[in-house]
A and B are shown apart, each in its own frame.
Chain A
Amino acid sequence: MLDFLRTRLAQGTRTSAFPGEAPEFPERFRGRPTLDGARCPGTCRECQAAMPSSLLVVAPDGRASLDVGACLFSPEEATACPHGAISFTADARLSARDRPGLVSETGELPAIEALGRRMQQLFGRSLRLRSVAAGSCNGCEAELVALGNVVFDMARFGIQFVASPRHADGLVITGAVSRNMRDALYRTYEAIPDPRMVIAVGACAINGGPFRDSPEVGNGVPPDLPVDLWIAGCPPHPLTVLDGLLRLLGQLDGQSAPAPKA
């Protein structure tokens, strides 16, 4: 018993100060990618050949933009541009309410609009989620599990993962949606009572991630599942997921958003 008390005292309280204080990330942390139009000559196209993901979207007129949802957050995506126009910021806010919201010319993402009044009344202070991994590497799931530890402690915001879809208010989908998980994914969605929400977490769920165009996967969440929140990352940092969820629920608004420290 004494050992137990001594250990408890030594361990202390470790819960993250987020969202009250801005999170701190190490210097090499790769957050939201950004495209500096001034550095991009717009004609060389070298990045297209060197880009290991679908991060870069080039319009027919040659104008480049970034699809943050497709970003694999690998160092090579930045070095693909020989002019240094693409780089990673320390910004861990990587969510959008709709798929086009993840694509922009600079990598900037629009502010997240909170759920409508009725949905906020229902779920704003108590949200139960069901997780389904469907053709993933288990990286995103590992970060979802981490949200339950004493550091991130998602339950303090009234958000919890539950065992049964019948007890859930929403579905969190990770993975590129493998052929073998497609049925189970739909059946889980159907088992969640209405009104329900769908949250796509990670590059795989958004567009197939590193497995994009493999014949065994469906390049992410099927279009007929209505996604309410897209959270980019490979995998997203737990605070990225938490930030997206809190903004969706209206617990954290754009104005009071703490700026990240590098």
Chain B
Amino acid sequence: MTAFDGLGLRNRRAIPFAALPMEAVPRFRDIVCQAVRDGWRIVAFFGLPATADRIQLVAILAQDERGQLGGLTTLAQGSYPALTPECPEAHLFEREIAEQCGIVPEGHPWLKPVRRHPPDEAGGHVPGDMVNREEYPFFQIHGDEVHEVAVGPVHAGIIEPGHFRFQAHGEEVLFLEIMLGYQHRGVERLLETRRWPDAVLIAESIAGDTVIAHASAACGAIEALARSRKTPRGQTIRGIALELERLANHIGDLGAIAGDIAYQPAAAYFGRMRGECLNLLMTLSGNRYGRGLIRPGGALFDIPSAMAGEMRARLEVLADELRPVGHLLLKNASVQARLEGVGAVSRAQCLELGLVGVAARACQVPRDVRHDHPYGVFRFAHIPVATAWAGDVLARTLVRWLEVQRSLEFVIEQVGALPKGAAQVPCGALRPGELAVALEEGWRGEVAHIVITDDAGNVRRHKVVDASFHNWSALAVAMPGNQISDFPLCNKSFNLSYAGHDL
């Protein structure tokens, strides 16, 4: 029997789907829970129909320190004992499995809908409240002077829809519950039914601010299944685009955090400089968010030498303009005082919830796919992992500022040293009966696309996990003890995707 960690599964390397060790449910559960105790982390946990009445559950795990990926599978009928009581980071995955596949993780302490849609796979018994779009059983605290505040789905600004339910005592938040699903568009089903390469247009629209990361992860999985050749030039262009996307969003977030604490100069300057990064992506791809660039087999648009020179010059101007604004914000004592200690997530909470990306790095958990599971250009050009330790809004702001500087250095270096060769090569047909995992370090954190092909080489299951899926729980645990008035700032410091979560 093959061990779950000895499959040769790596980021963007496909294996036969049948090679995943199949275990009976109790043993599957023990292995996954033990692995998580041993330092593995759940990348994805999902179901797909196996027979008329059985669901095949698949867990994909990562060991970041060793750069390993592992997988394990089991068959469940109607229900199975939940992993969550022993392994909290499985909690949202198990709610998703219940909702998508209609099987019950028994003993789950918080079995509520995730996106409020009917099951995709009618695999058996569906608990009533999993599909009820109208009634969501909110957690409530009762007591004198305890009150409830409901916010959303329509918010005060131009923000995606989501519902936040606070239990508060005076101004102090005792508990926050987040109900999402308003942006649910059925992305996974569309990815499974649209033909490639048209499906890349769906991948580009999973989260409109994470076009490059999602398209690259989707193409990465497809290329692994097709054994597509990867050209150094195509991979470098993808890396440049990914870091431009990170720059645009991190700079935008720094401005938005400044705006939320009414520090207008930094908000205005960062807001404008975010646009500069988007305009660089537009120069490259014809679209401000990089749509049209990432395609199976590489990058649809090359960077000719004149464009590389122009981009480099614009990036150097940007670097000069950014530095003083960063100092204006972060060296300001009243800004530091406002951000410090607000919305803190502890390192222990981070590990228990399986957080990723900026939120994890802000509490001294150095998870970064570019470093831990390197792929493409990041195998050759290393970007140091930026961390902070306090886990609060200030720490998340600092991590972003550090990453802005590192990404700028990276992009300036890479546009000046583009490898020769083609930007794109033909991708070819997908191999039948295989599984590929593609991880990408999007600007929020890990973006995972897991694609399984059927016997004819068509996509059988396309699982998408945005960093937001892992990290929304972090906002809920960061709020208690803070004031309701700190909520916008906390929310902004995570800046999670509703669309990326809702799919």
Whether chain B is bound by chain A comes out as yes
**B198 close to A52 (CB less than 8 A):** yes
Is A121 part of the contact surface with B, judged by Cβ < 8 Å?
no
**In the complex, what residue of chain B is closest to A174 when comparing beta carbons?**
B158
Q: What 1/0 mask marks residues of chain B from 273 to 289 whose CB sits below 8 Å from any chain A CB?
A: 01100110011111111
- Option from B154, B158, B206, B278 in Cβ contact (under 8 Å) with A137: B206
Q: Given known contacts A184-B182, A216-B185, is B292 in contact with A141 (CB within 8 Å)?
A: no
**B198 close to A179 (CB less than 8 A):** no
How many whole Å from B412's CB to the nearest CB in chain A? Answer: 19
**A217 close to B186 (CB less than 8 A):** yes
Q: What 1/0 mask marks residues of chain B from 366 to 377 whose CB sits below 8 Å from any chain A CB?
A: 000000000000
Q: Given known contacts A135-B185, A149-B275, is B190 in contact with A7 (CB within 8 Å)?
A: no
**B208 close to A3 (CB less than 8 A):** no
Q: How far is the CA of A73 from the CA of B269 in the complex (A)?
A: 30
Is A131 part of the contact surface with B, judged by Cβ < 8 Å?
yes
- Option from A28, A139, A175, A214 in Cβ contact (under 8 Å) with B301: A28
Q: How far is the CA of A178 from the CA of B283 in the complex (A)?
A: 33
How many whole Å from A140's CB to the nearest CB in chain B? Answer: 7
- Option from A29, A132, A136, A235 in Cβ contact (under 8 Å) with B286: A29
A166-185 interface with B by 8 A CB criterion: 175-176, 178-181, 184
**B286 close to A178 (CB less than 8 A):** no
**B497 close to A138 (CB less than 8 A):** yes
**B157 close to A52 (CB less than 8 A):** no
**B291 close to A211 (CB less than 8 A):** no
List chain A residues, Cβ under 8 A from B16.
none
**In the complex, what residue of chain B is closest to A164 when comparing beta carbons?**
B156
**A161 close to B158 (CB less than 8 A):** yes
Q: What 1/0 mask marks residues of chain B from 160 to 196 whose CB sits below 8 Å from any chain A CB?
A: 1100000000000000000001111111011000000
List chain B residues, Cβ under 8 A from A220.
none
Interface centre among A7, A143, A215 (most CB of B within 10 A): A7
Interface centre among B158, B284, B288 (most CB of A within 10 A): B158
List chain A residues, Cβ under 8 A from B94.
none
**B160 close to A149 (CB less than 8 A):** no
Q: What 1/0 mask marks residues of chain A from 198 to 224 whose CB sits below 8 Å from any chain B CB?
A: 000000000001110011110000000
**A136 close to B282 (CB less than 8 A):** no
How many whole Å from B152's CB to the nearest CB in chain A? Answer: 9
List chain A residues, Cβ under 8 A from B190.
210-211, 214
**A184 close to B286 (CB less than 8 A):** no
**B207 close to A137 (CB less than 8 A):** yes
Chain A interface size range: 35 or more
**A181 close to B321 (CB less than 8 A):** no
Q: How far is the CA of A70 from the CA of B324 in the complex (A)?
A: 43
Q: What 1/0 mask marks residues of chain A from 222 to 262 whose CB sits below 8 Å from any chain B CB?
A: 00000000000011010000000000000000000000000
Q: What 1/0 mask marks residues of chain B from 253 to 289 whose CB sits below 8 Å from any chain A CB?
A: 0000000000001001101101100110011111111
Is B434 part of the contact surface with A, judged by Cβ < 8 Å?
no
Is B499 part of the contact surface with A, judged by Cβ < 8 Å?
yes
List chain B residues, Cβ under 8 A from A175.
183
Q: Given known contacts A75-B292, A210-B205, is B157 in contact with A161 (CB within 8 Å)?
A: yes
**B159 close to A141 (CB less than 8 A):** yes
**A179 close to B117 (CB less than 8 A):** yes
- Option from B115, B154, B184 in Cβ contact (under 8 Å) with A184: B154
**B160 close to A76 (CB less than 8 A):** no
How many whole Å from B273's CB to the nearest CB in chain A? Answer: 9
**A139 close to B159 (CB less than 8 A):** no
**B183 close to A133 (CB less than 8 A):** yes
Q: Given known contacts A75-B292, A217-B186, is B201 in contact with A150 (CB within 8 Å)?
A: no
List chain B residues, Cβ under 8 A from A25.
282
Q: Given known contacts A180-B182, A210-B201, A211-B190, is B289 in contact with A141 (CB within 8 Å)?
A: no
**A75 close to B286 (CB less than 8 A):** yes
Is B498 part of the contact surface with A, judged by Cβ < 8 Å?
yes
Interface centre among A146, A149, A151, A180 (most CB of B within 10 A): A180
Q: Given known contacts A149-B268, A149-B272, A151-B275, is B184 in contact with A138 (CB within 8 Å)?
A: no
- Option from B187, B286, B328 in Cβ contact (under 8 Å) with A28: B286
List chain A residues, Cβ under 8 A from B289.
139, 142, 235
Q: How far is the CA of A178 from the CA of B133 in the complex (A)?
A: 12
List chain A residues, Cβ under 8 A from B185.
135, 176, 178, 211, 214, 216-217
Is A156 part of the contact surface with B, judged by Cβ < 8 Å?
no
Q: How far is the CA of A146 from the CA of B278 in the complex (A)?
A: 11
Is A43 part of the contact surface with B, judged by Cβ < 8 Å?
no
List chain A residues, Cβ under 8 A from B327.
3
List chain A residues, Cβ under 8 A from B153.
181, 184
Q: What 1/0 mask marks residues of chain A from 119 to 148 whose CB sits below 8 Å from any chain B CB?
A: 000000000001111111111111111100
Q: What 1/0 mask marks residues of chain A from 94 to 117 whose CB sits below 8 Å from any chain B CB?
A: 000000000000000000000000
List chain B residues, Cβ under 8 A from A53.
201
Is A14 part of the contact surface with B, judged by Cβ < 8 Å?
yes
Q: Given known contacts A28-B284, A132-B154, is B184 in contact with A216 (CB within 8 Å)?
A: yes
Q: How far is the CA of A214 from the CA of B185 in the complex (A)?
A: 7
Is A195 part of the contact surface with B, judged by Cβ < 8 Å?
no
Q: How far is the CA of A189 from the CA of B160 in the complex (A)?
A: 17
List the interface of chain A (C-beta within 8 A of B): 3-4, 6-8, 10-11, 14, 25-26, 28-30, 52-53, 72-76, 88, 130-146, 149-151, 161, 163-165, 175-176, 178-181, 184, 188, 209-211, 214-217, 234-235, 237
In the complex, the 9 A-B pairs of residues with the closest C-beta atoms, listed nearest first = A139-B208, A28-B286, A163-B156, A137-B208, A216-B186, A149-B271, A214-B186, A52-B198, A137-B205
Known: A4-B265, A133-B161. 20 other contacts (CB 8 A): A28-B283, A28-B301, A75-B292, A76-B197, A76-B201, A88-B286, A134-B161, A135-B182, A135-B185, A136-B160, A139-B208, A143-B288, A145-B157, A145-B158, A149-B271, A161-B157, A211-B187, A216-B184, A234-B291, A235-B208
List the interface of chain B (C-beta within 8 A of A): 115-117, 133, 153-154, 156-161, 181-187, 189-190, 197-198, 201-202, 204-209, 211, 265, 268-269, 271-272, 274-275, 278-279, 282-289, 291-292, 300-301, 321, 324-325, 327-328, 497-499
